[in-house]
Amino acid sequence: MVIFRKNKTQKAERPNSIQTKMVGASSMVATSPSVAKKKLSSRKSLTLAECGSMILSVLATEKEIVQAVFFIYDSSGENPSLNFLSGYACNAGYPTETSFEPGEGLPGQALKSRKILNLRNIPKGFIKIKTGLGEAYPQSLLLIPLFFKDQPVGVIELASFREFNAADEAFFTEIADEIAEKLQSHLKTTSKS
């Protein structure tokens, strides 16, 4: 938010100085996987859910994500599953007890196939994105399986008003290892505590 100020010793900021500041701020947004990786590794001492939320927030600002969910892989029970970890802009009432077995639903299939799933032309009514100004449907979904040293870690599901392209898939393919490593490191640290 830009605020115009004026007191006895200073003049109100002019639009050209505001534009300069806005250009400077926009350069802080990551334009490459390496910059996004740096943002992801910059924070410490978070709970697992907070870590998931932070990852989704970084991805949302980098790639025009309007809604996202993060599923963490749990192999501790009788049947391994992907369990809801955190969400970004999820609608009220989203079932946080949601889980999938490998191969079940799209998150489970992304994990089983070990490939990014890029879905376009999402049917109207499948998922609705709500804002303070209105509601709309996403154009595409991207499901990213996460593996660390060939072991499953989780799946991230992203929704956008624009279609994800090959450059987006390359970006997420490159950053997926960093996300999986961060989560695995976090799990290892919290299990020692």
pLDDT tens track for 53-62: 999 999 999 8
Does 145 fall in a domain?
yes
Does 58 fall in a domain?
yes
Q: Please tell me the predicted confidence (pLDDT) of residue 103.
A: 96
Does 3 fall in a domain?
no
CATH number at residue 88: 3.30.450.40
Does 182 fall in a domain?
yes
* Phi, psi at 30, each rounded to 5°: -70, 135
Domain count, the chain: 1
Render pLDDT for 171-191 as a digit per residue (tens, 0 to 9). Answer: 999 999 999 998 888 777 766
* Angle at alpha carbon of residue 75, lines to 71 and 77, rounded to 5°: 110
Side-by-side strand order, sheet with 140-148: 99-100, 81-88, 65-74, 151-160, 140-148, 117-120
